[in-house]
Amino acid sequence: MPCMPGIGKKSGCDEMNDVAIVGIGCTPVGEPWNKSLREIAVESTWAAMNDAGVNEVDGLVVGNMSSGNFVDQESLGSLIADYAGLGNITAFKVEGACGSGGVAFRTGVMAVASGMHDVVCVTGVEKMTDVVGDSATKILANASDREYEAVHGVTFVGLNAMVMRRYMHDYNARREDICSIPVNSHKNAVHNKNAMFRREISLDSVINSPMVADPLSLMECAPICDGAASIILTTRERAKEFTDTPIIVKGSAVKVDTIGVHDRKNVTSMTATVEAAKEAYNMAKLTPKDMDTAELHDAFSIMGVIGLEDLGFVRHGKGAHFAAEGQIGIGGKLPCCTYGGLKARGHPVGATGVYQILELTKNLRGEGVVDAQNGIAQNIGGTGSTVSVTILGRDI
């Protein structure tokens, strides 16, 4: 098998395995007060294993942002492997802030591609609602530059609000156009039984919702919530042993940027997304025009707009208008966030990237809401300090 461009060549390997998704599973996103982190993680892990028809895996990669702060529990690799009955396997946690799920998926892909593991489970999990008051906001702020941003009291909402204000200034963008991002996500969440908010919202309700950090309103921000999602990976050679509809990982990249927004030359574009997308497209030998659907990291409305631009779908400054025209809706030119995105499906930070991969997989299998041959997912950690871009496609 040929090396996967960007993985095999850089590692010095002569050959790398092509990687396929053969199983998916998740829990509903919400506030399950009667379930612990380990319970929802095991639930999604078993669901993915059942979907793949496997009763054992030889590796487990856990994506999680801050279990030590949210639920006073670390060592998630051991914890989840133990309670899922996976035995003495290789298991560990990886962290990339709100992009932990995407980083975990990339780690699982590398494990299978390298040949070091044969069947790997990637589980993203976060239990955020067990803390009270403003604790969640403080915990999430740990993904910013603690000594130069968070120490002054700035929150992630505040940082994104400043980015949005600069974007509106630089491109003369209308706030109502930017607000079409959450409207689209809520419209799509209606058909997702696992979404936290399964209801449509109007543009006026977004614009007139309480202001959180000017110009960002409440209905432009993803919720605090809990959830777990899992993916089973194996080689393309073995995939047909498990499913008739394997989905191929055509491109996978993770890039980083300065952790502080203030250190960037341009705050209205995320260099980590641009570079990760460039590598993923090159690996897949595809372009933005080949993508049939996209999962944007719409934790805040402005991030969805900038994501459209950084992934190469529209020129910079045109993302808000593209969304407002309805081009990102189901039936539009590029259906985005087809299961509700972070805003309506919910954003359990360590699990979000895995939910995105799961939702792309459904669409590519022919089980989803759009007919897609290829799809792309963007998962952001921090305010663009860590970004994963994944391209999936049908096996042909």
Among residues 13, 26, 98, 179, the one annotated as catalytic is 98
Told to judge if 98 belongs to the known catalytic residues of this protein, a careful annotator would answer yes
What is the signed CA dihedral for 300, 303, 308, 314, rounded to 10 degrees?
A: 120
pLDDT in tens, 208-237: 999 999 999 999 999 999 999 999 999 999
Nearest Cα to Cα of residue 184 among 102, 87, 66, 307: 307
| Site of tokens 């250190």 | 263
Among residues 117, 186, 297, 347, the one annotated as catalytic is 347
| Site of tokens 């999602």 | 229
> Can you read off the two tokens belonging to residue 4?
């996967």
351 CB neighbour count, 10 Å cutoff: 36
Q: Which residues contact 231 (CB under 8 A, 6 or more apart)?
A: 21, 23, 24, 48, 105, 108, 121, 122, 123, 354, 357, 358, 361
Res 14: pLDDT = 54
Domains of the chain: 8-132+225-239 (3.40.47.10)
Mean pLDDT per block of 10 residues along the chain (396 residues) reads 44 74 98 97 98 98 98 98 98 98 98 98 98 90 91 92 98 98 98 98 98 97 98 97 97 97 96 98 98 98 98 98 98 98 98 98 96 97 98 92
Q: Is 260 helix (H, G, I), strand (E, B) or coil?
A: coil
Arithmetic mean of pLDDT over the chain: 95
Told to judge if 186 belongs to the known catalytic residues of this protein, a careful annotator would answer no
pLDDT in tens, 150-182: 888 889 999 999 999 999 999 999 999 999 999
Q: Are 225 and 9 in contact (CB under 8 A)?
A: no
Q: Which residues contact 383 (CB under 8 A, 6 or more apart)?
A: 144, 156, 159, 160, 163, 261
Backbone φ and ψ of 256, nearest 5°: -125, 165
Q: How far is it, in rounded angstroms, from Cα 351 to Cα 356?
A: 9
Task: List 20's β-bridge partners, or say none.
Answer: 234, 248
Q: How far is it, in rounded angstroms, from Cα 301 to Cα 313?
A: 17
Whole-model pTM above 0.85?
yes
